[in-house]
Amino acid sequence: MKIFFALLLSLAILPAATFAMGSKPKPPTDPEVLEPGEPSYCDPKTFLSLEKSVANKSIGNAHMFKLGDVTVLGAAVGNSDTDSLISYAKSASTAGSSDKYCTWYLNEGNGDAEDFFTHIYMTNPKDLNTSSGPQEYRRKLSQEFATARTSFLSCASKHKYLAMGCNGMKHRGPTVFGMMLAYSGCKPERASTIVNTLWGLNGVKPEVRLAIIREAKSIGDTDPGSRNSLQEAFGY
């Protein structure tokens, strides 16, 4: 009897454990009720419906979306062909070398990506907690949203293009993609749902990713003008 109950308990725990190991939640089937002022693209079902295909097979683990006139790409930057990423940026936008092709590389190890794109090494969120994660990601990324010379806002507004990723687009990249959405005004929980559905958690604790994404929402709350400009660029 004890063995039977132990088996039942293990079966109950398995789905959550499997999700934490990297499997993705099922795509949402119903729209969510958004908060006042929250952009329509923040609804996970709506956001996922905006995905367009990435024909270039040299760009790995890629998901691309059209938010208004802006092409937003999340991809395995470090594990992809750098020339292909540059060509993709050129074909989809007016971004050039002076803007680092409006592409952010969030890991290390690919020398070409470090040279040609905006390179900011982020600690894998698997190795962070709900305190250290938000602290590091805020410290290293707070200016990237709107105040850096080349920022998410400047790229979206001027070049209609924004791309980001780490090596495999499993840990750092999806987390920062979620931060970008939260900065723009999405409820952090919805931003987390979007990136977890697209790329999975892959061992990142859901509460850590959510805490980091919440930090971006806080950054955006302090700069409503830039948030509104990013929303406008995204067609909201």
- pLDDT tens, residue by residue, 60-101: 999 999 999 999 999 999 999 999 999 999 999 999 999 999
Q: Mark out the alpha helices in 160-233 (DSSP H runs).
A: 172-183, 188-199, 206-221, 224-233
Q: How many structural domains compose the chain?
A: 1
Buried b (16+ CB within 10 A) or exposed e, 56-75: beebbbbbbbbbbebbbbbb
**Residue 26 one-letter amino acid:** K
pLDDT in tens, 73-83: 999 999 999 99
Average pLDDT, the chain: 91
Range of the domain at 145: 2-233
User: Rounded to an integer, what distance in angstroms lies between the CA atom of residue 191 and that of residue 4?
Assistant: 39
Q: Is 73 helix (H, G, I), strand (E, B) or coil?
A: strand
Question: What is the pTM (predicted TM-score) of this model?
Answer: 0.89
Contact 59, 79 (CB under 8 A): no
What pLDDT is attached to residue 171? 98
